[in-house]
Amino acid sequence: MSKFEIKKRSNGEFQFSLKAGNGEEILASEGYTTKANCENGVQSVKKNSVYPERFDRLVSKNNKFYFNLKASNGQVIGKSEMYESASGRDNGIESVMKNALDAKVVDLTV
């Protein structure tokens, strides 16, 4: 079963990651100053992950493939790991679309 994990960084910021059933991280957020904002970010991923057009398919300067998930206002709410191929990246997008909506939220800050 997939899950969102909410963690607190060493700098005090909160971050979430979406993990697939096998434990592999498929999406990670930027840092948030409050846990409430981080939790809102999780809900935004759940809401926006059902729209294929919200995923930007990108290539890094060193020719690695990755994607960003954006909210309806264009703000990036999550970024993937780097993939060796475009098909790997596309499989990552499929995984987010399949897993995010029903993923449970695990708060690792308590």
Q: Tell me: the pLDDT tens digits for 62-83?
A: 999 999 999 999 999 999 999 9
CB 18 within 8 A of CB 37: no
Q: What is the pLDDT of residues 1-26, one digit of tens each?
A: 899 999 999 999 999 999 998 999 99
Say how many C-beta atoms besides its own lie within 10 A of residue 108's C-beta: 9
Distance of CA 7 to the CA centre of its chain: 13
Token pair 């909160």 is found at 14
Q: How far, in Å, CA of 85 to CA of 68, rounded? A: 16
